[in-house]
Structure 1
């Protein structure tokens, strides 16, 4: 069977013992747990040890009166949300208005009518319970929304980040390229693309093992990222040991500077590759293409040009770059001295 609901706690503050006795007994007969205090100071001290669900507070008391006590309750974060019902023999409108303006929820005039007291107490306890339930629901919803946002961020990351190298994946590359192509076509700005792959990586993997190969790719990806500085540039794993670097609003000379920076960072890694015929350490070959996107051109055409430049760099001896510059007329294909010496 479900547990019985916990009885509500009510604090009565009144300096007249007879009032306390009668009112406390009335509420206890209805199943409430009743606390009593004979002054405002005594009530505040009692609240330091526990918080009631509702306070019945007399206005006319010696020392700290009910209005002063209520002001202190509403100024304290611990007690400001506890509903306060004022009790007084005073019938003047000004006292009621002042009490309600301090944050009290209701007003009961002495002498008490038992049915009225119980009705008002139950109403305000119900309102408090509904308010607390609503606050819990809001907090739970915020927690769920925060967890959902966190999960969505993780899903977004999984969808756009390569799990091995932690750079953008092919899906992210394809998405960004489409957007960049349309933007630069509209703005008549150049777009440079670099495709690069690790020279003789299959031989590296076969002889050093796949775990060493995976670590090599992680280091290569990080080195490429260090050579690419602008926030709008994108480094992505294009597939296998091949990486792509998207350089929006970058002319041919700027793209070649990035390529040289990449080759320099790879050389700094100094990863041994005794089975390479190019160098005793890991090297890259790079293909570059630069275009100013136009409606009669295609994104696939840019990728094809870049891939051809990469193939040409391998023909030139690897550890170098070749560049298709179609941003000028006539288009040109040039290669750096091969192989590059960056040590």
Structure 2
């Protein structure tokens, strides 16, 4: 459809008819109605005119020499520049089959000759109104498509922003729960996790193990090798402990200074001892030289252990306190070892033929 419609007219109409009288009568009445009119005496001329300036509407005679109206219509509909121009056929052929053929070829309407001028004017007005409404609808659809595209783009941008924000928040939350130096859990997360596991174990009546690991003579190590070396060693020790406590539910946390805590849910005494011995084995394999240690030429750990089945009479603070007592006992016994505190049901926790010298209390009395 042409975008070059002449201003101050109701539309640009092309009349195609090989009869001069028809051209004269139709053009006169349509110009009086306010339309701009162009004329073509044959189909070939009509095709050239449409290529030069596409009209808003075509009145097309069917019976013409060389190229009849059907073929002209077919060529116009096959051209992307003219395919949307509405065509009203003019013909003396009034048989239904002729009208159906015209519509099938792409015609918008069909007027039989001799025509009534009032009928022509009304049908022209109707087709131009339909064409105008279709163009308005197309413009609205294009605007809506553009708006929808912009809206989808905005939604996608917001979704990506939300994902990025969520990732940042998760990272910040993760950082807030990690010890910045050793990259294991910090004390805050340890307290929360221990409380949750205590409640769960109490409900399910399953054993809960807790360990405190303290680097032997770490102050002397820092004094000898410096704090930078001390920080690097803390990282290596934390990694060694994580390697030993590797189940998904196991938690390794920095308790403070050179102390590390380990939470082992649903772990009996024998399993806890295996983890403690594996921790010491992992540390031995590192062979971190400690010239000022009294117990070994390499860095060592003392470990306190508590294994219990939580109940409502006690709390995680009791668990930490007894584990600290066990750690103190391990140090009193020469360091570089572990000592355990087992709360009640001694036979439940102990494996057969276990070295009970590692146990210093089996009752809850001093909780």
Partner in structure 1 of residue 187 of structure 2: 170
Partner in structure 1 of residue 339 of structure 2: 322
Whether contact under 8 Å (1:322, 1:334) holds in the other structure is no
Selected match of 2:276 from 234, 256, 259: 259
How many Å separate the matches in 2 of 1:177 and 1:218? 23
CA shift for structure 1 position 197: 1.0
Q: Give the match's secondary structure for 1:235.
A: strand
CA shift for structure 1 position 155: 1.1
Whether contact under 8 Å (2:207, 2:265) holds in the other structure is yes
Residue 18 and residue 178 in structure 1: after superposition, are their counterparts in 2 closer, same or farther (change >3 A)?
farther
Q: CA offsets, 1:140-171, max 9 Å, x none? A: 11111111111111111111111111111111
Selected match of 2:314 from 297, 301, 308: 297
Partner in structure 2 of residue 284 of structure 1: 301
Partner in structure 2 of residue 156 of structure 1: 173
Partner in structure 2 of residue 143 of structure 1: 160
Greater Rg, structure 1 or structure 2? 2
How many Å separate the matches in 2 of 1:221 and 1:209? 18
How many Å separate the matches in 2 of 1:334 and 1:140? 64
Residue 18 and residue 208 in structure 1: after superposition, are their counterparts in 2 closer, same or farther (change >3 A)?
farther
How many Å separate the matches in 1 of 2:299 and 2:318? 30
How many Å separate the matches in 2 of 1:176 and 1:59? 78
Whether contact under 8 Å (2:212, 2:323) holds in the other structure is yes
Partner in structure 2 of residue 75 of structure 1: none
Within the alignment, does 1:125 sit opposite 2:142 as a pair? yes
Residue 122 and residue 202 in structure 1: after superposition, are their counterparts in 2 closer, same or farther (change >3 A)?
same
* 1:202-217 correspondence runs (5 A): 202-217=219-234
CA shift for structure 1 position 322: 0.2
Q: Give the match's secondary structure for 2:167.
A: helix
Residue 256 and residue 23 in structure 1: after superposition, are their counterparts in 2 closer, same or farther (change >3 A)?
farther
CA shift for structure 1 position 229: 2.4
Q: CA offsets, 1:253-302, max 9 Å, x none? A: 11111100000000001000001111111100000000100111221111
Whether contact under 8 Å (1:288, 1:321) holds in the other structure is yes
Selected match of 2:289 from 272, 275, 285: 272
Residue 23 and residue 95 in structure 1: after superposition, are their counterparts in 2 closer, same or farther (change >3 A)?
closer
Whether contact under 8 Å (1:60, 1:88) holds in the other structure is no
CA shift for structure 1 position 121: 3.8
Whether contact under 8 Å (1:173, 1:236) holds in the other structure is yes
Partner in structure 1 of residue 327 of structure 2: 310
**Post-superposition, which runs of at least 4 consecutive aligned residues in structure 1 deviate over 3 A?**
16-25, 86-92, 109-118, 329-337
Q: Give the match's secondary structure for 2:210.
A: strand
Could you tell me which runs of 5 or more consecutive residues in structure 2 were left unpaired when the two chains were aligned.
Answer: 1-46, 57-74, 88-101, 109-125, 360-367
Could you tell me which runs of 5 or more consecutive residues in structure 1 were left unpaired when the two chains were aligned.
Answer: 1-15, 26-57, 67-85, 97-108, 338-343
CA shift for structure 1 position 329: 4.4
How many Å separate the matches in 2 of 1:259 and 1:311? 16
Q: Give the match's secondary structure for 2:78.
A: coil
Q: Could you state the TM-score of these two structures normalised by the residue count of structure 1?
A: 0.67
Whether contact under 8 Å (2:86, 2:107) holds in the other structure is no
Q: CA offsets, 1:27-54, max 9 Å, x none? A: xxxxxxxxxxxxxxxxxxxxxxxxxxxx
Whether contact under 8 Å (2:211, 2:303) holds in the other structure is yes
Whether contact under 8 Å (2:86, 2:131) holds in the other structure is no
Residue 91 and residue 194 in structure 1: after superposition, are their counterparts in 2 closer, same or farther (change >3 A)?
farther
